[in-house]
Amino acid sequence: MLRSILYKNKWWVLFTSLCIILSSLMMVYAGYSLSFLFRAINYSGNALNKLLNDALNVTIIWIIALILLYIKNIAKANMIRKIRKNLRNNIALKIVELNYEEFHKKDSGNYVSWLTSDVQQITQQAFIPFFTIVENIATTIFSLIAMIKLNLFIGLTAIGLFVFISVIPQLLGKLMTKVSKELSIGQEKFVEKTKETVMGYTIFKLYNLFSAFVERVNHSSDTIENINFQYSRKQSLVETFVAGVNLIGQVVLIVVTLYLAIENLTPVGAVLSVGNLAGSFFSGVGASVNSIISLKASKIVFEKFKLKKNGITSKVDLNTLESITLEDISFSYSDTPVLKNINIKFERGKKYALVGASGKGKSTLAKILLGFLSNYSGKVLFDNNELKEVLQSSIYRQITYIDQNTYLFNGTIRNNINLGEDFSDNEIYEALKKSSLLDFINNLPQGLDTIIEENGKNLSGGQRQRLALARAIIRKVQFIIIDEGTSAIDKESALEIERNLMDDKNLTIILITHNLHNEIIDKLDCVYEI
């Protein structure tokens, strides 16, 4: 995935890499240019003027170097911003690709961790190391060329040592991969646990359990910090090993040069130059080796976000739906049977109720109808097509579901109904009328622009459910499953909503309820008992 993200931004990557290389070279040259000032010692005649001239030149060189350094830093920051946005986009695609069962295998905190901690981990382990390698390539290559120019044998020795060192990532890569995976999983668990603790704030407050709140945070913190420490320990081990090998490499090169000098095969002065060049060569190689190990370790985190290959789908795209038929449906959660041989038919425009004692499996049946649970036996037929053969997106154009825990986003009422889609205010008012929420909205000073706070805490339970109904109605979905969707509403309001829905000839209503009002029973075509 790293490759595809970098490829997607290839021109920016190229520009940033160029800035990095130019800036490195310019900084080296600027450092070297200071020696120009010493030429003044040998100046005769108008020495001060010449010295000032040299000083001006050196200043200009430094100004250019500093401007390049600034441009490089901005280019790098901009590049990191772009590729991090790309990465989050890919992670979001991965999340929406998951089906209902896959998504619910993990707590939602894990997905928050993907988009926060994992993005941070990948930045540290892959994106920044990638540019570190680019930054060091120039230094490594230039010091190698200089050594070859000094003496071919010294250059060949440096190449030999480089080949030897380049095996290190293969040797130590696995060590870092393991801790990298542990770090990513640990961060998921940390976010999951702290999210859960913070969500339970009211309970801790109600029962005066302040210390339990702090203790839970501390416990999660201990766990993640231990994992962080293990990661840093392994990383230090790798860095120390690489530094050790580099040191040996430098000693070998100096010894070889000394030997060549003793044998008069190279001038004695070369020893000093090789000392310097070997230093920059091995610091470049060392930084690159550490970065390559880090890059290898990040692969395991990228793996989590790999998208499935999109084959050509042969699934049925439903444009209309006349009926849904359940034939001999049985379902178990693990080994616990919940539904047994259910046979039901829902026809377009008709009104149904599903009744049954608590825990009998009414919500489970709804989830099967929506394709959320696939491990059933028997058949769910959308007209004549088995549900598993129907394109998922087309299922939700035909059928929708309002359960007891409607989720509302922070934002306006309008945005909570259109959910980013293009609906006119008139359409929104029409849907609100049908869900019996229009009077309430009209009485709000800000109307549709009223801001809904975190998960609708400034709305009553009934208002939240009516808003959810408006979302479904505006999308003209034909089949609406209301899973005790009116349970939080007083009897009169509940009846008003149900009456409105029952009177709409186009809608198919499947009401999952414990309380069937007499007035509603008369409007139902069929009551199924589960």
Ligand X SMILES: Nc1ncnc2c1ncn2[C@@H]1O[C@H](COP(=O)(O)OP(=O)(O)OP(=O)(O)O)[C@@H](O)[C@H]1O
- Is residue 8 within the footprint of ligand X (CB under 6 A)? no
Pick the closer one to ligand X by CB: 81 or 514. 514
- Is residue 506 within the footprint of ligand X (CB under 6 A)? no
- Is residue 485 within the footprint of ligand X (CB under 6 A)? no
Q: Which of 363, 416, 465, 508 binds ligand X (CB under 6 A)?
A: 363
Q: Which of 173, 286, 361, 462 binds ligand X (CB under 6 A)?
A: 361
Per-residue CA distances from 385 to 61, 323, 435 (Å)? 74, 10, 32
3-state secondary structure 184-233: HHHHHHHHHHHHHHHHCHHHHHHCCCHHHHHHHHHHHHHHHHHHHHHHHH
Interface segment toward ligand X; rule CB under 6 A; list 253-261, 294-302, 321-329, 359-367:
359-367
- Is residue 486 within the footprint of ligand X (CB under 6 A)? no
- Is residue 434 within the footprint of ligand X (CB under 6 A)? no
Helix (H, G, I), strand (E, B) or coil at 134: helix
- Is residue 362 within the footprint of ligand X (CB under 6 A)? yes
Pick the closer one to ligand X by CB: 118 or 483. 483
**Binding residues for ligand X restricted to 364-383, rule: CB under 6 A:** 364
- Is residue 462 within the footprint of ligand X (CB under 6 A)? no
Interface segment toward ligand X; rule CB under 6 A; list 264-272, 314-322, 360-368, 440-448:
360-368
User: What is the Cα–Cα distance from 441 to 433, expressed in whole angstroms?
Assistant: 10
Interface segment toward ligand X; rule CB under 6 A; list 83-91, 269-277, 352-360, 388-396:
352-360
Residues 6+ apart with CB under 8 A from 108: 195
User: What is the Cα–Cα distance from 96 to 213, expressed in whole angstroms?
Assistant: 33
Give the contact letters, 315-334, x = binds to ligand X (CB under 6 A), - = no: ------------------x-
Sheet with strand 323-333: strands edge to edge: 336-347, 323-333, 377-382, 385-386
Q: Which of 338, 355, 391, 488 binds ligand X (CB under 6 A)?
A: 338
User: What is the Cα–Cα distance from 428 to 162, expressed in whole angstroms?
Assistant: 68
Pick the closer one to ligand X by CB: 205 or 514. 514
Q: Where are the alpha helices (DSSP H) in 263-312?
A: 269-303
Pick the closer one to ligand X by CB: 125 or 513. 513
Strands 385-386, 377-382: pairing kind = antiparallel
Pick the closer one to ligand X by CB: 164 or 333. 333
How open is the CA angle 378-379-385, to the nearest 5 degrees? 160
Q: Which tokens is 384 given?
A: 């004549």
Q: Which tokens is 477 given?
A: 């979905």
What's the closest the beta carbon of residue 362 comes to ligand X, in angstroms?
A: 4
Which residues of this chain interact with ligand X, rule CB under 6 A? 333, 338, 356, 358-364
